[in-house]
Amino acid sequence: MNKKNMIAALILLTALTFGLAAQGNSDTTGFTGGIETALQSVAKAPLSDTEKQGILLMREEEKLARDVYITLYEKWNLRTFTNISKAEQTHMDAMKLLVDRYGLDDPMTTNEVGVFTNPELQKLYNDLAAQGSTSLENAVKVGSTIEDLDIYDLERLMKTADNDDVLIVYQNLLKGSRNHLRSFDRQLQRNGTSYTAQYLTQQAYDRIAQSSQERGTVITDPHFKY
């Protein structure tokens, strides 16, 4: 191979590597498979009741995010919704790893969009889907609301979780949710509007929204600090 061809090959390899890294949670196999591999090196330990409840909540809360985004994409045809709904599917799959790992009863009894076991999540889906159907601006604000709630709940649950495997899954869901929040916030800025935090403090929300997209591989450190 001559020098010119070697340089071209190097450029192509670099582009492919960057492209794969930039896919993030859109790479379903890579994301879920990476977490599954990480969990294989962590010993199981008894779950507290709080940890069990947290796993079951987040399994359906990630479905809530996916389902609302599917519904709003069908209404507004905004690509951000379909892209993030696919990422939320990987979050659901990651939570299923914990459900199966500990032999818990999966609260997700159907994959049907908009149907939930948890009555609070059912009501929240109904309310958010209705709110997001009134205008495109409100639809994007609904996206920000969901990610605001998701990050709030994950951070709250991490404070009471001791098991490293649970923390590793939560760390990766948090990373994805921070990226989703940034995506929705950019959409709002493009339209000259903003979102007022409902779950996080406004300072915490702004810190995430104003920071760069997080890239790279699956987080394997259960005590990773953002």
**Tens of pLDDT along the chain (226 residues)?**
444 333 333 333 333 333 333 333 344 458 999 999 999 999 999 999 999 999 999 999 999 999 999 999 999 999 999 999 999 999 999 999 999 999 999 999 999 999 999 999 999 999 999 999 999 999 999 999 999 999 999 999 999 999 999 999 999 999 999 999 999 999 999 999 999 999 999 999 999 999 999 999 999 999 999 9
CA distance 75 to 77: 6
pLDDT at 22: 33
Q: Which class for 131: exposed (0-12), middle (13-18), buried (19 or more C-beta within 10 A)?
A: middle
User: What is the sign, positive or negative, of the torsion defined by CA atoms of 127, 129, 130, 132?
Assistant: positive
Tell me how crowded residue 193 is: count the other CB atoms within 10 A of its CB: 12
Place of tokens 């990480």: 38
What would the DSSP string read from start to end of 3-38? HHHHHHHHHHHHHHHHHHHHHGGG-HHHHHHHHHHH
pLDDT at 30: 87
Give the N- to C-terminal CA distance of the chain in Å, as an integer: 44
pLDDT of residue 24: 35
Which pLDDT value is given to residue 27?
46
User: Rg of the chain's alpha carbons, rounded to an integer?
Assistant: 19
pLDDT at 193: 97
The CATH superfamily label for domain 26-209 reads Ferritin, core subunit, four-helix bundle (1.20.1260.10)
Give the residue from 139, 173, 145 showing the smallest Cα distance to 57: 173
Name residues whose C-beta falls within 8 Å of residue 217's C-beta, 6 or more positions apart in sequence. Answer: 21, 34
Q: Is the dihedral of CA 160, 215, 181, 37 positive or negative?
A: negative
